[in-house]
Each structure stands twice: as C-alpha cells, then as structure tokens.
Amino acid sequence: MSVPHEMGWRGVAKFLARKALQIDPYGNFFNGKSQWRYFKETLTNGDIEQFRQPPRKGWGPHLGFDIHRFEAFLEGNLFNRGEYCLVEIYTSFLGFNRLYMIERVAQSASDGDRFHRSGPRDPRQGRGASCA
C-alpha cells in the first residue's frame, strides 16, 4: 500500500512546488480557509486533515493527508489485533511517499491460533516484523 507524505518539510516542499508549477493547484480545496495556516500546520506536523471539506471517512486526494494518523490507524486496526503485521516500509525519493508491505498473519493448522515470529512493530520505527 502506498501513501503520500504530506507532513513536515516534505509537505511544505510539495505545497510550494505545486504553487510554483501549476496554474490552479488547489482548486477549491481551501474553500475560504487560510493557505498560510495550512502551510504552518504542515510545517509543524499539525492537523492538516481539518482542511478537508467536507470531512471524509477514510482518505482521498493527497491534500490534507496526515501520514501520522494513517500509521496510527494501521497500528490500532491491523497490527494490534494480530491479523496483519508490517513486513517492511519503503520510501520514495527523499521520503515523499511511503510504501507499506503488510502481510496477513498465518494461522496454525492445529488450533487456528495466529502466529508470527516477532509481533507487529510501530511503523515509525522503519523496518517491521516478519510474518510467519
């Protein structure tokens, strides 16, 4: 699964590059909200999802995508339940995108118990656990 990294200096670089290279890069995305505030929230790893209007369940376009919330979602809804584990995280050039390799945890043939070698890991730590 691949996702954009729109936070911190990467988000600021993308924000400025879009403004410099495209005629109307944001369309009505800001819809009366401050672009300067979005810039500041992006730079400080603040809440950029608040700029998504209308609020969405899940994620859509890159703008307003908070990778930290996405990783918390993975941790809380996939890895902590023991159904999936993180195999590896890859990053694109300068970390502008992340690719998550995730595996479903195997089940024991004898009793149906889930097992994996070293348990799920925090995606922010880089390399994840391997699944059995």
Average pLDDT of the chain is 78
Rounded Cα–Cα distance for residues 47 and 17 (Å): 21
Reported pTM: 0.69
Specify whether the CB–CB gap between 45 and 7 falls below 8 A.
yes
Find where tokens 């990294």 sit. Answer: 5
Over residues 25-40, the pLDDT tens digits come to: 888 788 888 999 999 9
For the chain, the structural domain boundaries read 2-67, 78-125
